[in-house]
Structure 1
Amino acid sequence: MIKIDDHTIADLDALALSHYNSLVGELLVDGINYHATSSLVQRIRNRRLQDAAIPDQTRVDFWDYLLNNNFLNLKRVITGRPAILKTVIAEIDNICGAGFFSNDIDYDNATLTPFGIIVKDIFNYRLYRNKPECRENCNQFNLSYCPYCNEQVTQVITDVNGLNGETERLALLQLDHFYPQSRHPYLSVSFFNLIPGCSPCNAQLKLEKRFDIDSHFNPFEKRLDDHFQFRLNTIILSKDEDVIISYTNKTPHPDNALVDFRILHRYENIAHKKVVFKLVKTFKNHSPKINKSISEQIIGLFTINESKTNVLLDNYNVPLSRNQINQVQLGKLKRDIAIQMGILNNP
């Protein structure tokens, strides 16, 4: 729904690099490529030795892809933006062949091969998920709602331990693997593959679906707002049940994300319809013509735009800009309705 870069002041690439360094671990001896046994690099090295002893050359080639050139490709795996990860997938498939890590059953389902399970265990997402670093990274994203649906709360809170008084972060969200672990286990802890989202989107709807940046929206890469606009089939409403929401293409793009996350079905529940119905009635009473009249009566206090800002933000909680969408539940839907009704210009 939104691009995370729009909502954070953090340098996400710097966070990704810090994440990589924490996984790889510092050199224990200057000038010697020796890392702690618990580090990702050493786990990969140990497994490479085992696979070389079998021998299994394809497995060895995969590990070498990650380790060679001072771990250059491993760094790309962990820190690469979504477009880089797509390239990495293609390179690894070229080395190992299709089906080496995963059994692609259909669009919705996939299972790991025995080697895929080994790779998943070595990258060890669960270890990272339980670290304070993970919760702090999520906090840096500055998200209020799931970036996929803009409906469910996703937040990081600070809790105080009642026994020792120490504070700790609690991430009340799930991390969705945009490229699922069941298909690409080597991306299990890739920074830009971990989308902080809600349980309905991740655990109930997305699951193991075959996602790709060309067919879906990775919130670290692009905005749904650039490509789709929600709209009401009619603004002539007499009751909540009259609200019918649809969407149109602003630019050519597949609507797989809207379909897979059941966005229209979720937005048309009765509680959301009540919100939309109230907005439409309110907007009709604050048309551009009426806003102009109000501002002229209090000239010197507000400009027309400032009057609109106060009306929309203070009273009706409608985002004026795309970098405010995630601060409001259904922020994009509300903003798009305001644009449709001429209350808000579409920058």
Structure 2
Amino acid sequence: MIKINISKAKREEVEEKHYQYFKDNFLDKLISLSKVEDSFRDFYRFLLLNIEQIITGRPKELNDVIIKIDNGFPYLSSLFKKGTRQRSGHEKKLINKLNLKNIFNYDAFLKPDPPDWGAYQLTKNLNVNICPYCNRQYIVTYHSEEKKVIRPQLDHFFAKSIYPYLALSLYNLIPSCNICNSRLKRDTEFEYKKYIHPYEEGFGDSMKFSVKIREEKDINNYNDLKYLDFFFGESDEFDIKFKAGKEVNNEFIKKAENNIKVFKLEELYDFHKDNVAELIKKNMIYNKDRIKELYQNFNQLFNSKDDIVRMIVSNYITEDNLDKRVLAKLTKDICEELNLFDYT
């Protein structure tokens, strides 16, 4: 999992546009409802009082809103957290009467061609091209002349089925791939303190890919295995796992493990063992002397030896560039663990 990197200037620009979109389209509805004399008036007034925080607040601020609603409106909170099938007929009528789907109208936000702002404009401005949850899929945004839209799916970190008042919250909309959003996470209830939020952090060096060579008891034909095959990139008798970095607190480890479990990262990355094998073979071909030779002979093409390594592995291997190409974190972590392409 990688962090979504946005510059301060771009973040402020997106926040301003997103909040303006809400004010132009839905704020009047909330104001009108907050004046109605019924049992929901206090709830509407709470939403109105905290609306800017709800729409553009950072993940922790959104979690604070959830806590305030849990404490201040426990009946409504419990009602939201009930599944549709669990709600009685009376409870379903109450949910419909609340009209939150019209106040925080996510379906309208998804329309391909709104005048100034919507899902397409958001993902285009964020420029997130790799799924932050898995780092395995491209999620580019493209708008053709025929006005057909290609864009990432938007995952609600706090599920909109449970927290309908966060359906349009900027930092609750995570650009992601179809597999992570629709096939794996779906309506899983993510809690702020139990899962890593990609707008705040990624795995970084705190949780890294690691190679685990299988033990004898895990291999069917152990007698046929040559121990050195792995180090020549000729064996697939290993698994790709995660390991915690040094001096990582238990809270982070538990959160990372929850993300790994929900998005099936170890299971899915086991399909990329060939990438590890290729890295090992390339390391044998492009040893320290070969990298030095390339740098000397083609210095007009490369600004540094890091650029040569990036060409060799066909990927980025620095933390601040992991969002530019799929499998970049796997490449970086395995190169570091196996000490590949050491040109120092």
Which bracket does the TM-score occupy, shorter chain normalised? 0.7 to 0.9
- Aligned length, in residue pairs: 307
TM-score (norm: length of structure 1):
0.79
Per mean C-alpha deviation after superposition, the further-off stretch among 313-322 and 140-149 is 313-322
Q: Does 1:256 align with 2:258?
A: yes
Correspondence 1:1-347 to 2 at 5 A: 1-5=1-5, 11-25=10-24, 39-50=25-36, 52=37, 55-56=38-39, 59-68=40-49, 73-97=50-74, 99-104=77-82, 114=92, 115-117=94-96, 118-130=99-111, 131=114, 133-134=117-118, 135-161=120-146, 168=147, 170-234=149-213, 236=231, 238-239=233-234, 241-250=236-245, 251-252=248-249, 253=252, 254=254, 255-269=257-271, 272-286=272-286, 290-292=287-289, 294-295=291-292, 299=296, 308-343=305-340
Q: Cα distance 1:111–1:194, how it changes in 2: closer, same or farther (>3 A)?
A: farther
* 1:102 and 1:184 in contact (8 A); partners too: yes
Report the identity percentage.
25
For residues 328 and 230 of structure 1, what CA distance do their matches in structure 2 show? 16
| Aligned-partner residue type, residue 53 of structure 2 | R
Structure 1 position 84, deviation (Å): 0.8
Secondary structure of the residue aligned to 1:232 is strand
Q: Cα distance 1:274–1:320, how it changes in 2: closer, same or farther (>3 A)?
A: closer
Q: CA RMSD in A?
A: 2.8
Q: Cα distance 1:295–1:45, how it changes in 2: closer, same or farther (>3 A)?
A: same
Which structure 2 segments of 5+ residues have no match?
214-229
Deviations 1:237-256 (A, max 9, x none): 65353241011112232110
Structure 1 position 217, deviation (Å): 1.8
| Aligned-partner residue type, residue 64 of structure 1 | R
* 2:291 and 2:308 in contact (8 A); partners too: no
Structure 1 position 97, deviation (Å): 0.9
Secondary structure of the residue aligned to 1:17 is helix
Structure 1 position 116, deviation (Å): 4.3
Structure 1 position 211, deviation (Å): 0.7
Which structure 1 segments of 5+ residues have no match?
26-38, 162-167
| Aligned-partner residue type, residue 159 of structure 2 | P
Deviations 1:316-342 (A, max 9, x none): 123132221121111101110111122
Structure 1 position 91, deviation (Å): 1.3
For residues 325 and 111 of structure 1, what CA distance do their matches in structure 2 show? 43
| Aligned-partner residue type, residue 117 of structure 2 | E
